[in-house]
Amino acid sequence: MKFFQKSWYKILAVLIVAYSLVYGMLINLPADVGILDETIRNLFYHVPMWFGMMLILMAAWVNSIMFLSKPSTKRDVYASELTNVGILMGFCGLFTGMFWAYNTWGTAWTNDPKLNGVAAGMAMYGGYWLLQKSVNDDEKRARLAAVYNVFVFPLFLALIVVMPKLAQSSIHPGSGESVNFKSYNSTNNMEMVFYPAVIGWCLLFVWIAELRTRFRLLEIQKEHEENNA
Amino acid sequence: MKKITLSLLFLSALIQASAQGNESLFRSSGKIYVVVGIISIIFLMIVLYLYRLDKKISRLEKDKK
């Protein structure tokens, strides 16, 4: 029972991702997806990376706020490891997106507002990473990183969600005047795979973040013991 | 071992359930199941790896206490 309480979300993650991987390949597609053709299946693989990244970075943001209101090593480590994993997910989305774009739009990097927003956003999270590396005093580093994170996440969202929505034109769905997945034939059941895929991948990466956090906490504990010895 | 068998059963049930749709270009040759199988194997290996890592860290945590 204790095992289940601790790891229900890991089991859930594996089941849901397995479902989305298999079903995403086998599902019937709507006929009117234009040049995307069969590659619309990337909706079940590429897009959940971005959605999951946003959810995970939001979790990191919440952890940073919790750290600021009540400082603890655990919250600090959770915030930074969730951010690390979120960035990993972002790179998964970026590289799959570049590959998809190369095969659909003919170039790996279009000057789409969404892509440029993400490039700037990633640079901001690069700043977060640098900040973590460049301060020696642990307490100060934790507090600076938390404050930085509290500011950077809303800005990141503004860059990758709000700005593309305001843009005149974009080739990404849901931005500017471009198409939206809702505009495709409504008889399809793509949503039945897409939304579970977002949740499943998110949980799977949370699992990785949890492992990294526990490992980091063990490391910190060891350092303390060595310092006290 | 039981977990692996269970998940394999789960996957094959899924594949069979979804095979009853109409034929699309993607599936007409029947070879897409090979790709689905390979993706499933890779995913299972990654999950197994994560599971073992989880166990290892749990053991470390236990030793510390």
Split into its structural domains, chain B has a count of 1
pLDDT single digits (tens) A77-121: 999 999 999 999 999 999 999 998 888 888 888 888 888 899 999
Task: Give A20: exposed, middle or buried? Use CB within 10 Å, 0-12, 13-18, 19+.
Answer: buried
Nearest to A17 among B18, B43, B61 (CB): B43
- Does residue B22 belong to the interface with chain A, where contact is any CB pair within 8 Å? yes
pLDDT tens, residue order, chain B (65 aa) = 565 566 666 656 655 555 544 455 666 677 788 888 899 999 999 999 999 999 999 999 898 87
The pTM score is 0.83
Average confidence (pLDDT) over A33-46 = 81
The answer to whether the Cβ–Cβ distance between B43 and A21 falls below 8 Å is: yes
Q: What is the ipTM of this complex?
A: 0.77
**Is the distance from CB of A17 to CB of A197 less than 8 angstroms?**
yes
Q: Confidence class of residue A68 from pLDDT cuts 50, 70 and 90? A: very high
Q: What is the pLDDT of residue B20?
A: 46
CA-based end-to-end distance of chain A: 38
Quote the domain boundaries for residue B16: 2-64
pLDDT single digits (tens) A161-206: 888 878 777 777 766 555 555 556 555 677 888 889 999 999 999 9
The dihedral over CA atoms of A79, A85, A90, A94, expressed in degrees to the nearest 10, equals: 150
Could you tell me which residues come within 8 angstroms of residue A159 by beta carbon, excluding any fewer than 6 positions away? A117, A118, A120, A121, A124
- Does residue B2 belong to the interface with chain A, where contact is any CB pair within 8 Å? no
Give B31's Cβ-side CA count (13 Å radius).
2
Measured CA to CA, the distance from residue B14 to residue B27 in angstroms comes to 15
Q: What is the pLDDT of residue A179?
A: 53
Contacts of A23 in chain B (CB under 8 A): 14, 18
Size of interface A-B (CB pairs under 8 A): 64
CA distance to A15, A72, A102, A212, B55, per residue, from A113 (Å): 35, 38, 17, 33, 43
**Is the distance from CB of A79 to CB of A146 less than 8 angstroms?**
yes
